[in-house]
Structure 1
Amino acid sequence: MTGAYDDRDGTIWMDGKLIEWRDAKVHILTHALHYASAVFEGERCYDGKIFKGVEHSQRLRHSAELLDMEVPYSVEEIEAAKYAMLKANGWTNAYVRVLAWRGAGEDMGVSARRNPVRMAVAGWEWGNYYGDAKMKGAKLDISKWRRPDPLTIPSAAKASGLYMICTMSKHAAEAKGCSDALMMDYRGYVAEATGANVFFVKDGEVHTPLPDCFLNGITRQTVIAMMREKGITVHERHIEPVELAGFEQCWLTGTAAEVTPVGQIGEFRFDVGALTRDVAQSYEKLVRA
């Protein structure tokens, strides 16, 4: 599947029914378009099974609750919608995007209590999020934007509006020839990339930022559990930027990123070492188990 995302052949599930791809439209006065009142999930289907699908559906509903929205579909109904979309498109390996948003209605200001909450499920066939970086190691810029204080945003929600500074950071990184950008948090600690969590290795032990002001990714949690089952020591803690010079290996995790090695962040360089390769290979086996 190629071409602009609004002009493709295919089927999208929208508000309870399957419709033609090009018919999946919303009105210009949709509240989410003006005020970012939307939440979403990114998931991958491997060999006909969506990895951690139920957890993603549960998080979608939780994210909506944090934005004072109520998704009008149960977890079971969301799961059925995802598989109906995949079946309609004939996909067994695909990326799945579920989106819930406040639509157009009687309100068109900051308040939107009288507007309906709508939901759609789309998908597409997607390879490595970082291209050949999956093998060679991604190159990251260091963003000037920081993840905000959780008292200013619902940081535990996977909400569309929270990605504005991520888009800006990624654009700046791409302009420098990088794949992505590493972001600090509001205190100056290492936080995450624009759409993925980050891990570091030093002396055979793994260190990863404490997710107290950014999303605790499902892939992040999966990889931590997997490593601990292997007997690998994992430290979830605040990491100072000056520590980057002392780490030997680095990788990113996320549904789109899966496990992607990092070769460079700013001036700091990392090896695509044995532990990084083992984690990537183990994750690949797990999602297809």
Structure 2
Amino acid sequence: MEGAYDDRDGKIWLDGQLVEWRDAKVHVLTHALHYASSVFEGERAYNGKIFLGHAHSERLIASAQSLDFEIPYTADEIDAIKDEVLKVNGFTNAYVRAVAWRGAGPDMGVASSRNPVQLAVAAWEWGNYYGDAKTKGAKLDIAKWKRPSPETIPVHAKAAGLYMICTMSKHAAEAKGCSDALFMDYRGYVAEATGANIFFVKDGEVHTPLADCFLNGLTRQTVIRLLKEKGITVHERHIMPEELESFEQCWLTGTAAEVTPVGQIGDYSFEVGALTLDIAETYETLVRS
């Protein structure tokens, strides 16, 4: 499937029914468009089955609750909707996007408790998020923006508003010929990329930033489990930027990114080494099993 995302063939589930792709629309005074009252999930289906689909549905509901609204569907119901979207579009290997938001209604200010909550699910075929970086290693810029404090915003929700600095940072990175950008957090510690968590290797052990002010990704959690099952020590800790020079390997994790090696961050270079390739293969085997 190619072309603009508003001009494609297929079906999108919207507020209780499957509609033609081009007809899946919302009003210009939708609250989420003005005030970022929106949460979403990015998921991948492999061989017709969404990997960790139920966990994604549960997180979507929890993210909405963090933003003070309730999605009018259970996790099981959302699971069934996602499966229906895959089936009607004839997809077995696809990216799935579930999104919930405060719609247009009686309120058009910051407060919106009387507005309806809407839900949509779409799916499309999507290849490697970082293109050929899966073999060559992604090149990352270092973002000028910082991941915020948990006291300022619900940092553990997968909320649209949290991605504003991601869009700006990724645009700046692409302008420099990079695939993505690495954030530091509000304290100056290494945090994550714009849409993926990050891991480092040193002396056969793995180090990854402590997810205390950013999303603890489901892929991140899966990869940590896989590493521990292999007997590899994993350190979840605060990492200072100056430590980047001492790490030998690096990779990104995420539903879209899957496990993608990193070859460069700013002036620091990393090898696409054996451990990186092994965990990428192990993850690939798992999601297709």
SS at match of 2:281: helix
SS in 1 for 2:92: coil
Unaligned 5+ segments in structure 2 are none
Secondary structure of 1:262's match?
A: strand
SS of 1:130's partner is: coil
Alignment match, 2:80: 80
What is the alpha-carbon distance in structure 2 between the residues aligned to residue 158 and residue 142 of structure 1? Answer: 22
Distance 1:49 1:230 in 2: 25
Report how far residue 16 of structure 1 moved.
1.0
**In the alignment, does 2:97 pair up with 1:103?**
no
Distance 1:22 1:80 in 2: 23
Equivalent residue for 2:260? 260
> 1:69 corresponds to which residue?
69
Tell me, what secondary structure is at the counterpart of 1:155? coil
Alignment of 1:151-170 (within 5 A): 151-170=151-170
1:122 aligns with 2:122: yes
Offset at residue 38 of structure 1 (A): 0.1
Q: In the aligned structure 1, how far is the partner of 2:123 from the partner of 2:267?
A: 37
CA distance in 1, matches of 2:263, 2:222: 23
Aligned pair 1:287/2:280, yes or no? no
Aligned-partner Cα distance in 2 for 1:72–1:152: 27
Output the CA distance in 1 between the equivalents of 2:11 and 2:229. 40
Matches of 1:212 and 1:174 in 2, distance apart?
28
The amino acid of 1:114's aligned partner reads R
Deviations 1:106-165 (A, max 9, x none): 000000000000000001100000000011000000000000011000001000000000
**Given the two structures, how large is their TM-score scaled by the length of structure 2?**
1.00
Tell me the distance in 1 between the aligned counterparts of 2:214 and 2:238.
12
Paired letter, 2:240: E
Residue 222 (structure 1) aligns with: 222
Provide the residue aligned with 1:28 in structure 2.
28
State how far apart, in whole Å, the 1-side matches of 2:238 and 2:14 are.
41
1:45 aligned residue = 45
What is the CA distance between 1:103 and its match in structure 2? 0.2
Aligned equivalents of 1:263 and 1:178: distance in 2? 11
Distance in 2 (CA, whole Å) between partners of 1:278 and 1:152 is 38
Q: CA RMSD in A?
A: 0.3
Counterpart AA for 2:37: S
1:123 corresponds to which letter in structure 2? A
In structure 1, list runs of 5 or more residues that go unmatched. Answer: none
1:10 aligns with 2:10: yes
Letter in 1 for 2:13: W
Separation in structure 2 between the aligned mates of residue 254 and residue 2 of structure 1, nearest angstrom: 23
Give the SS at the match of 1:28.
coil
Mapped partners of 1:10, 1:165: distance in 2: 31
Aligned length: 289
Separation in 2 of the partners of 1:210 and 1:24? 39
Per the alignment, residue 209 of structure 2 pairs with 209
Corresponding residue for residue 250 of structure 1:
250
1:28: Cα distance to partner? 0.3
SS at structure 2 position matched to 1:58:
helix
CA distance in 1, matches of 2:116, 2:60: 16
Q: Are residue 90 (structure 1) and residue 90 (structure 2) matched? A: yes
Distance 1:49 1:85 in 2: 12
Whole-Å Cα distance in 2 between the matches of residues 273 and 131 of structure 1? Answer: 19
User: Residues of 2 paired with 1:235 and 1:136: CA distance?
Assistant: 26
Q: 3-state SS of the aligned residue for 2:173?
A: helix
TM-score w.r.t. structure 1 length?
1.00
Equivalents in 2 of 1:60, 1:196: separation in Å?
17
Q: How far apart, CA to CA, are the structure 2 residues paired with 1:129 and 1:18?
A: 27
Distance in 2 (CA, whole Å) between partners of 1:13 and 1:77 is: 12
